[in-house]
A and B are shown apart, each in its own frame.
Chain A
Amino acid sequence: MNFIKGYLIPRLLQYFIVTFLGLSAIFFLPRLLPTDPVKQQLQQYQTFGVYIPPEQQEEMMRTLRQLYGLEGTLWEQYLDFWKRLLTGDFGPSFSRFPVSVSKVISQALPWTVGLLSLTTILSWIIAVIVGGIVGYYRKRWMEALDVVVMIIRPIPYYVMALICLILFAYVFPIFPLSGGIGIGQKLSFDLETILSIVKHGTLPALTLMIVGIAWQFQSMKLIVQIVKSEDHVWYAKTAGVTEKMIVRNHVIRNAMLPMITQLGLQFGGIFSGALITEMVFAYPGIGWILYDAIMKADYNLIMGVMCISTIAITTSILLLDLIYPLFDPRVRYR
């Protein structure tokens, strides 16, 4: 009972407030800006040399406004925006006209979720194990690993993706340059398709994992070093507790808590990293859809992706917050 009242309800409340504010910001931000996307689109048509008679211009603007959800006063638009959002309908996509935005996104989502969940969890586990060992034992050769991480850590996803692409797809053509599966291949569950998916996914996954591991490795190493020098560990040592027990019960358990928070905090970073990586590798997930939408100025699709991303980030942080008490008994009764 205490858990629900003291922990669950405030967290849920915070989740709803932040998600609500985030989504509202997505609604208001483009509308605060001085340019009008509808007029811009018309101008774009005209610069391409399309002649639109004035009487049709009016008609076209009205239709575009309707499709963009730009009809009526700001307040009406806002209500409409929530109505659309709650029913999961973001209107039609412009670049793939009759297809709805929600359909385009739902086709792309499995790719991103697959890539992201796999790389995030895998890199987190590797980083925790390796970082823990290096942080605890601090051998001399391990310092070399630290230098490597110090070099990789500041490189942003985009540059890293580019380096991977050049190295492993051009200089040493081991992996395909782009795409999610081979051209013309249909999604099915036979061996060939799965192999193709793995082959295409390796390079994007590698990029995400290199950067992810570098981040988390460093955190884990520092945390373990700090935990190791704390009084209770020293006390356990002098009390004759075996090293194995100390590592398991005192160091790992205490170091895991901040690492779980880290997983939640970095999800946002890794998420946008995944978007960039997908853009570079033309991987058919949300990032690629977004890139395509940007190139074609597909306003509705961009809004849809933004909303989905915001909800994805806040929800994953909430989920991590909710499982956190399982690991840290102190949180439960606060």
Chain B
Amino acid sequence: MKQIVRVFRDLFRDYRFTVAFIALLFLLVLSLLSYVSPYDPVSIYQVPRGLPPSFEHPFGTNWLGQDVFWRLTFAVRNSLLIAVITAFFSRIIAIIVGIVSGYKGGALDQVLMTIGDTTMVLPILIVLIVISMILKDWARSFVNLGLLLAFFSWAWDARVIRSQVLSVRERDFVRVAVLSGMSTMKIVGKQLLPHVLPVIFTTFINNMSWAIGMEITLAYLGLGIDPTVPTLGTMLQRAITRQALFLGLWWWLAAPIVTAILLFIALYWLSVSISEYLDPRARFQRVGVGK
């Protein structure tokens, strides 16, 4: 317990962590508010259309007669949900591939890394567009979209985990474990995994941010989640296709944009400050490919 407090005290010294932490907490509260929303997130014409922000409707109402603030609470919740599902599944793939190819090495390593390189070279955006286009109805659910995004985002992180495993593998304590007859599974779980955990954690956050961005991009094209279900992407897309700007309803467009930017910055700052805290040399990680 004392240790955790100390870690947090150290982390809060970094202004980026403090800002990101507060912003994320705020967004989390926002998403939890969706459970007490007085309005249904999907149905339309519940309130007067096109009202500017007021006390009753903090972020105004849109042209479809929906309250923007309460819709936003659902949007944040759903976007975070997609992000967490994506990050979770892609972490599983990345950990397995990274550890197997780092620890086992040899031909298997080369095959796995070639597959990874290939998915990195593919124009991921276009591939995602094509698949979600063909599987239109399938990709409408959160879990399926998460799986789809996860499948195309593990390669770089698997590479990072692999390089970590490669360096840990040569250390004495792993050799001792091998010589003392520890089973491979146990070595992986007890000796390797703890060393890879920081990487897994920071790439988890980065992956979340990527998934949110991808969801927004896909939604703009009318793909991914069902457009009537509010996410940051579908809210934006609606506001754009319904010409929010030309109707003069700037709050309709601004609400999802500002929230999305806040979310991106918060996630990024969190991951940067945590990875710098865990390993000052890891600043190089920031240099990695910008996805």
Contact = CB atoms under 8 A, between A and B. Distances in A.
B122 A159 contact: no
A170 B249 CA distance: 13
Contacts of A310: 121-123
Nearest to B16: A150
B118 A21 contact: yes
B261 A155 contact: yes
Nearest to A33: B134
**What DSSP secondary structure best describes chain B's contact surface?**
helix
Contact of B121 (A18, A170, A219, A275): A18
Contact of A156 (B121, B216, B223): B216
Nearest to A151: B265
B264 A158 contact: no
Interface in A253-287: 258, 262, 265-266, 268-269, 271-272, 275-276, 279-280
A222 B288 CA distance: 12
Given A18-B118, A302-B126, A155 B287 contact: no
Most-contacted residue by chain A among B130, B220, B272, B284 (CB, 10 A): B130
A50 interface: no
A290 B127 CA distance: 12
A26 interface: yes
Contacts of B115: 21
A269 B127 CA distance: 14
A159 B212 CA distance: 11
A309 interface: yes
Interface string A16-31: 0111011001100110
Given A163-B257, A294-B133, A156 B122 contact: no
B290 interface: yes
Interface residues of B, number: 48
B125 interface: yes
Contacts of A291: 221
A122 interface: no
B258 to A, nearest CB: 10
Most-contacted residue by chain B among A154, A294, A305 (CB, 10 A): A154
B291 A158 contact: no
B209 A154 contact: yes
A33 B151 CA distance: 14
Contact of B123 (A21, A162, A166, A271): A271
A276 B284 contact: no
Interface string B136-169: 0000000000000000000000000000000000
B76 interface: no
Given A18-B117, A158-B220, A33 B287 contact: no
A65 interface: no
A297 interface: yes
A34 to B, nearest CB: 8
B124 interface: yes
A11 interface: no
Contacts of B213: 156, 158-159
A26 B127 contact: yes
B74 interface: no
Contacts of A276: 125, 217
Contacts of A309: 123, 126
A313 B117 CA distance: 12
B264 A156 contact: yes
Interface of A: 17-19, 21-22, 25-26, 29-30, 33-35, 37, 40, 150-151, 153-156, 158-159, 162-163, 166, 170, 215, 218-219, 222-223, 226, 258, 262, 265-266, 268-269, 271-272, 275-276, 279-280, 290-291, 294-295, 297, 302, 305-306, 309-310, 313-314, 317
16 contacts: A22-B121, A25-B122, A30-B130, A35-B135, A154-B209, A159-B213, A159-B260, A162-B240, A219-B287, A222-B283, A275-B123, A276-B217, A290-B126, A306-B123, A306-B127, A310-B123
Given A166-B245, A222-B287, A275-B125, 5 more contacts: A29-B131, A40-B134, A158-B220, A222-B286, A306-B123
